[in-house]
Amino acid sequence: MKRALLVGLSLVAFSAVQASAADLPVKARPMAPVVTAFNWTGCYIGGNVGGKWVRTSGSTDVAAAGIGAAGSIVWADADNSTLIFGGQVGCNYQAPGSNWVFGIEGDVDWQRWSRVNTVGTVFPFPFVAGDTFEWRSRWEGSARGRIGYAWDRVLLYVTGGAAFTDLTIGTNFIATTAGGVTFPATVVSSSQTIWGPTVGGGLEYAITNNFTAGIEGRYSWYGTHAVGAGAVATVFTPAVGGGGTFTFAPATQTVKLNTFEVMGKLNWKIF
């Protein structure tokens, strides 16, 4: 009888414990953190360094003036290369939930390329063997739009717009005697800023939320430009007779310029 009573009391106690446990709140499992894709929206500033390949061709033309005669020399294609480095600023916009990225960018770079054309032993009048004609440039810049497609932190894009560069021409006529007249050396230079379309593409990667790195290639063609140095008044002394003033004919340099460049870029997203 006692044993049956103990068994019954044990069953009642066990049932009560189970009922109390069933009423306790169940602790939910911790939720995994939500990972959001990187968004390229924002403005940035950065620097770049790379190389440029330059192809030039053109001519040098001298108009008739004074006792001089007109003449022209055509210069064939020639290639040069230069280191470039500088900086860029820009802004991007990526709509939430979209992979497309739209942006604008401007840059300015230092460069140093030049081409010197020298008249050889066989020359057309009024040129003299040793006369030199130089083309050179020291800076470039561009203003472009960008359209890209992003895979989270990876951005592949195309870019296009306008490129600008300085073009300086130098004219160096050496001293010579022709037709009984002694002509002194004449050195003249002139500069102007030229522009043309530029297109290219690149790949950019967001290392952190504010720091990106990439590589870009771009081709620019500036067309053909004529740069004149202006007339130069020089004093000459005839071999026989008195002196006088001769207005030396201005040399007009016609230059065709195309460039291709590749650069590495680092950007800091400022907001």
User: In the chain, what are the domain boundaries?
Assistant: 43-269
The reported pTM is 0.79
pLDDT at residue 39 greater than cutoff 90: yes
The residue with greater pLDDT, 17 or 124, is 124
Per-residue confidence band for 77, with pLDDT thresholds at 50, 70 and 90: very high
For 4-31, the pLDDT digits (tens) are 544 454 544 455 545 554 555 555 566 5
The mean per-residue pLDDT over the stretch 83-87 comes to 98
Pick from 33-42, 68-77, 140-149: least confident: 33-42
- Taking 80 as the threshold, does the pLDDT of residue 130 lie above it? yes
- Mean pLDDT of the 58-74 span: 76
Q: Copy the structure tokens of residue 57.
A: 């061709």
**CATH number for region 43-269:** 2.40.160
Task: Return mean pLDDT, the chain.
Answer: 83
Q: Lowest-confidence range among 124-133, 194-203, 207-216, 259-268?
A: 124-133
Could you give the percent of the chain with pLDDT greater than 90?
58
- 261 exposed, middle or buried (CB, 10 Å; 0-12, 13-18, 19+)? buried
Return the minimum-mean-pLDDT range out of 7-11, 129-133, 249-253.
Answer: 7-11
| pLDDT above 50 for 40 | yes
Average pLDDT in the 174-198 region? 79
Lowest mean pLDDT among 66-70, 171-175, 233-237, 243-247: 233-237
What does the pLDDT read at residue 70?
76
User: How high is the pLDDT of residue 176?
Assistant: 75
The per-residue pLDDT for 188 is: 78
**Res 235 pLDDT > 50:** no
